[in-house]
A and B are shown apart, each in its own frame.
Chain A
């Protein structure tokens, strides 16, 4: 077995030594193979994660109760519902507000104003989620608990789920609604960023021709620019949803963890991700129950992974379809 040359042997040309034929062959093969290796890393990583989870779960069969609402019988449904209850409203809110910001920025605001304001969106997109969590926990939650929720109980109480239940809203302010608000703020920058860039990529010609035909700026935005930028809007939605459903720490800090369905919007509940982080210690107990709980959590993690992947694939499919439509115009 010849010594394989070190990968960094491609130094300056004058320092290069003549290589023996066998080493040259190895080097040749390396040159052929090595460039493809990085491309395989994502695939390998995905497979490694899936296989590790499958292995740790031992494919434990929890029966049909696994897809039920009874956590005591190892049911996951409370947490699946909790995940969608937080991420779907947060996504809708973030998309609406984000679209508003990006339309204002690309269409209505003078160029020099938006040039000053846009970097703040980019800046917000880079803030780690834990900072949103801490801010939500220490600043937003107490304020909402004391000032906002009592108001909304009084004035929005006629909407199902917004009225006062037996013990909520709690003065601490934590709960489902606050988790939705924090998630919305967290994914707002990334959705805004993507939609703004998509809207900005609308060709000037399309704009001008729309305006030349006598349409107002709003009509051009609604009928020309947004349909053209559809792909970016969908992309923003799927990326935002992926971040929202997988968010762990920020949600765990403000959702008022409870392994139950919420009675109203102020009540506590759990998402799949927040359950895992709150109860992971149970999986390390050196008892049969601990082993079983580790398998339960890994299977829950697999479900979360499957949901995320499904959303991702659906997103790609929709984007491809939309893109062909637009290109076909």
Chain B
């Protein structure tokens, strides 16, 4: 009996080994299947899930892409460790870690509120006002600063309920970057914790994931929160949420920057901001690691000064929406298997060229890459060692 089991185990191991060997040795032949693994950002995941079957059916039936969530941090560290092929992330990885940032789409963020009667009025808000609300310095909707930005709007005399994400989130990262670049006094988020923010006001609420935030906003009157633009449809379908027009932070005022224009998150305005950010890109030093918040950081991607955002040359981009973000794929430059990486690069190239078509991106409200970013992407992909 024991001998029989031992033989069975040995045969099993031999079988698995042989299967692996055969699979590995024929992986270059056109009849075998290549599986590309992707994990990370839950914001990019729906788009990856749309792309993946389309790539397999339209381009290469031998390549499948398995998509996973887990969060941007997971995407970054697993891509760096080489346990997955493609790491998806809302935030770029700083240069020098053996991975490069290849943006595949542009996303944006809405600032939403639950104010009865003002749902279809796009309130004017800016980074300084939002930072002060989340720091507990502005507590009422009819605060003089909000009123000054919204002439003629009848603001309720009610306490503001800030809503944050309870879980780790790229949305929190993007939002707190906006606050950080708008208000010198901002000290949450980027400065202290990665992807986390905690308002000191005891009255704040939080939700898990974008859907949780939408639920919280919907059931809490006079609340305010940030929602990824992919969830615009879901949020507006609730019927009692409106979204704000955000300031460009063009002028300097007390405590930070104030706006001269208030801009809605239309595709056009989001593209304007992306172009503005690219004008500040230092590709030679930082690759595509660039923040697009408020038109990018004038001082480089990792060394912006809090409160320095929004020195906006209006001529080139008249109305840039300030909270715009590149959705990155994180790829290893020296992969363990260059031949496998060939398939990965081919897929990413398809995402940039064909996957950016409106019929794919429209489903998640993302904006296509600008031609300049797509061009930089090709440069970046060329630095990956592949073999054909």
Q: Report A's interface with B, CB cutoff 8 A.
A: 8, 11, 70-74, 166-167, 170-172, 257-261, 263, 268, 270, 278-287, 289-290, 292-293
Contacts and interface: CB of A to CB of B under 8 A. Distances in A.
A290 B194 contact: yes
B70 A257 contact: no
A86 B1 CA distance: 52
B192 A284 contact: no
B115 interface: no
B202 A263 contact: yes
Q: Which of B91, B166, B206, B220 lies at the interface centre, i.e. has the most chain A CB atoms within 10 A of its CB?
A: B166
Contact of B208 (A167, A257, A260, A289): A257
A284 B167 CA distance: 13
Given A257-B166, A287-B194, A281 B73 contact: yes
Contacts of A283: 73
Contacts of A172: 215, 219
Contact of B196 (A171, A279, A284): A279
Contacts of B2: 8, 11
Interface stretch (B74-82, B249-257, B271-279, B363-371): B74-82
Contacts of B166: 257-259, 268, 270, 278
Contact of B200 (A72, A257, A284, A289): A72
Interface of B: 2-3, 6, 70-74, 76-78, 80, 91, 93-94, 97, 159, 161, 166-168, 187-188, 190, 192-196, 198, 200, 202-208, 215-216, 219-220, 223
Contacts of B194: 282, 285, 287, 289-290, 292-293
Nearest to A270: B166
B179 to A, nearest CB: 13
19 contacts: A70-B200, A72-B188, A72-B193, A74-B193, A166-B161, A167-B161, A259-B196, A259-B206, A260-B202, A278-B168, A278-B208, A279-B168, A281-B195, A283-B73, A285-B91, A286-B94, A287-B91, A289-B194, A293-B196
B192 A289 contact: yes
Given A286-B80, A287-B94, 20 more contacts: A72-B200, A166-B161, A257-B166, A257-B208, A258-B204, A259-B198, A260-B198, A260-B202, A260-B204, A260-B206, A261-B202, A279-B167, A279-B168, A280-B73, A281-B168, A285-B72, A286-B93, A287-B91, A287-B194, A292-B194
A302 to B, nearest CB: 19
B24 to A, nearest CB: 29
A290 B223 CA distance: 29
Given A258-B166, A286-B97, A281 B220 contact: no
B220 A167 contact: yes
A95 B203 CA distance: 34
Contacts of A74: 192-193
Contact of B206 (A8, A258, A284): A258
A8 B207 CA distance: 55
Given A285-B194, A293-B194, A268 B72 contact: no
Contact of A268 (B76, B78, B202, B205): B205
Given A71-B198, A167-B220, A259-B206, A281 B74 contact: yes
A284 B89 CA distance: 11
Nearest to A170: B219
A257 B195 CA distance: 16
A72 B195 contact: no
A286 B192 CA distance: 15
Main secondary structure of the interface of A (DSSP, over half): loop
Nearest to B166: A257
Most chain A beta-carbon neighbours within 10 Å: one of B73, B78, B159, B219: B73
A147 to B, nearest CB: 16
Given A72-B200, A170-B220, A284-B76, A278 B167 contact: yes
B71 A284 contact: yes
Nearest to B71: A281
B72 A281 contact: yes
A258 B199 CA distance: 11
Contact of B198 (A72, A280, A289): A72
A292 B192 CA distance: 9
Contacts of B200: 70, 72
Contacts of A287: 91, 94, 194
Given A72-B192, A278-B208, A285 B219 contact: no
B193 A293 contact: yes
Nearest to B80: A286
B193 A282 contact: yes
Contacts of B204: 258, 260
A284 B73 contact: yes
Among B71, B74, B194, the one with the most A-chain Cβ atoms within 10 Å of its Cβ is: B194
B18 to A, nearest CB: 23
Contact of B205 (A258, A281, A285): A258
The 10 lowest CB-CB distance pairs between A and B, nearest first, are A281-B71, A284-B73, A257-B166, A289-B194, A281-B168, A282-B168, A284-B77, A281-B73, A258-B206, A285-B73
Nearest to B212: A257
A15 B307 CA distance: 82
Contacts of A282: 73, 168, 193-196
A53 B309 CA distance: 40
A130 to B, nearest CB: 16
A8 B6 contact: yes
A270 B188 CA distance: 19
Nearest to A169: B219
Nearest to A279: B168
Contacts of B3: 11
B100 to A, nearest CB: 13
Nearest to A166: B203
B190 A268 contact: no
B73 A257 contact: no
A267 to B, nearest CB: 9
A290 B73 contact: yes
A286 B81 CA distance: 11
Contact of B70 (A72, A268, A281, A289): A281
Given A257-B208, A286-B93, A287-B94, A281 B193 contact: no
